[in-house]
Amino acid sequence: MSRAFVKEDSGDQPEQLPERPVSPHPNYMTATGYRTMVQQVAALDHELHTLKADLSLTSLTRQAVIQRDLNYYRSRVASAIQVEPATSAPSRVIFGCEISFIDEQDQQHSYRIVGEDEADIANKRISWRSPLANALLGKQAGDQVLWQKPHHSEEIEITEIRP
């Protein structure tokens, strides 16, 4: 068998991890998202500092993961464009606001439009780059919007916009 297909023994060093990909789009963040990311950097810095004394393979592997994540989060914090939240209900859908709408099955949905790193569908936060946010941005309450989904389109009606 060719040596090209045999994994060399790397000793006690963890494998090199690839960097996390960084979005080419503007890095808009809510104030909450920015604070959360700064706290994440501080927590990872603390964990990395704590692990530095441990030279076990498990610790070295964890240190590599932390360092990769720190590189990513630090670059995202440095490039963040914080968007101030609206103080009153905006007349149009904007970044940071919460939107309620009714779908074709007359079911009510609510989502907040946030930065790419803040998106969390389980907590009803969608990225401003998502197809749903793209359909909603700039629209008003009462507008009918065509939401392009991967396999079909759906007509939705915006019922409320909240700060």
Structure confidence by residue, pLDDT tens digits, 103-124: 999 999 999 999 999 999 999 9
Angstrom distance (rounded) from CA 161 to CA 163: 7
36: its two tokens: 């959360």
Query: What pLDDT score was predicted for residue 8?
Result: 53
Q: For residue 151, what are the contacts with CB-CB under 8 A and spacing of at least 6?
A: none
Query: What pLDDT score was predicted for residue 85?
Result: 84
Label residue 3 by pLDDT band (50, 70, 90): low
With a cut of 90, say whether residue 81 has pLDDT above it: yes
Residue that is written with structure tokens 């915006």 in the block: 158
Burial 73-111, CB ≥16 within 10 A → b, else e: beebbeebeebeeeeeebeebbbbbbbebeeeeeeeeeb
Fold of 86-162: Chitinase A; domain 3 (3.10.50)
- As a whole-number percent, the residues of the chain with pLDDT over 90 amount to 82
Parse the chain into domains and list their residue ranges: 26-84, 86-162
The CATH code for residues 26-84 is 1.10.287
State the DSSP code for 122. Answer: G
| Residue, of 49 and 15, whose pLDDT is higher | 49
